[in-house]
Structure 1
């Protein structure tokens, strides 16, 4: 009998995982339509660059995507005034170094404050162990998605 409730809970987890994936897609859609919106990939890029300038290749590794996708992402962030791209002397786009502008640093800080407040709000009724368990489950979902 214990299997049935666990199976039901696993079903709820699967439903939540699908819903999270759909929410991410909606966020990406808003980011393409609204210049003020940032997709999670854009936000991760700004967060990575807050530690210092990176090559396009290194930034691609940090945001877990291809160099081609990051080149496109950087073009959008550059247009928004959030980053600058300094080309290598050879002019090769793949060896360009990307750095945050002051506007990019401010946007990253604003996004981080917003995220911190939102996470605090939605976890206010959870104890520390529950928050850590949620983080563990999300991390495991990341690994599962990589396996699928």
Structure 2
């Protein structure tokens, strides 16, 4: 059984998808280069210096960007995904997990449940009251199926 991580690779543009498939995507190549260099890097500055040695042009600023030789425009690291922001790369260099692989902590509260007792619409409309009761049961059942949740 596979687990789909929310927010990971939300989608590629119409141009990016075939480029990834054929291996000509600059973003995919930059991701691979960063993944390859992270174990050998001591910090983010060292990683960017190593990227420069591999032929990438680096632009520092509010958001760091890189451009491969023959690439027209710079690619911001943060546009590569949650695992490639400067903070995430720094955490990965320090030995942490990728943000997309970390489990989200739940606070134990049942969220998104409809408060039938205090809901005026549920008190005035029997049909809505019945629907809200069934919806709450569905939502609680859905929470118990996901690992890491508490009911």
Same fold (TM over 0.5): no
Q: Which has the larger radius of gyration?
A: 2
TM-score under structure 2 length normalisation: 0.30
